[in-house]
Amino acid sequence: MPTDPQFTQQLVSVIPALRAFALSMCKKTDLAEDMVQEALTRAWQSQHQFTPDTNFKSWMFTILRNAYYTHYNKTSRMVATDPHALGERTFQPPHQHRCAEFSDFNNALLNLPAGQREALLLVGASGFSIEEAATICGVPEGTIKSRVNRARRALAEFALDGLEFSSVASESSHRYLSA
């Protein structure tokens, strides 16, 4: 298979964004790196399917998202038997106030429903348009708008109220579902 230099250049340039998105989805660095590697491998093997003059970054994010959900579906029913896995869940108090604030925000973000977190990260953090995010997620644009709005409101309520996130998320979801 001949290699297109432009394809290789685009592939290399999108790696940092893929890593950031994978880490936000996976929550674990090693798994995120594996997902990025899987996405790069799939893209390399399928480079003949990429349509030139279309959004390469969007194509790669779609591949990464599909790789993550394939992995998630395969492993969601598995039970960890590693006794060291409990060690990863221990709490260590932060040493600085900003670290604590970031940790609180990160925990709130990670506790958003997966669809809301994904939409917010695609539109807010990765810079995709509503249309591009809808294409990546395979849902209508209105769904992305709704998910981003609900995610932003849940995070704002968490920041303003200082409540447990799970209660904020469930109250927010209930309010939006009943409205």
CATH entry, 5-75, from 1.10.1740.10, 3.30.300.130, 3.10.580.10, 3.50.30.40: 1.10.1740.10
**What does the alpha-carbon distance between residue 148 and residue 123 come to, in Å, rounded to a whole number?**
8
**What does the alpha-carbon distance between residue 40 and residue 55 come to, in Å, rounded to a whole number?**
16
pLDDT band with cut points at 50, 70 and 90 for residue 73: confident
pTM, entire model? 0.55
Q: Where in the chain is the domain with CATH 1.10.10.10?
A: 96-178
Q: Span 96-178: which CATH code?
A: 1.10.10.10
**What does the alpha-carbon distance between residue 17 and residue 10 come to, in Å, rounded to a whole number?**
12
pLDDT at 64 over 90: yes
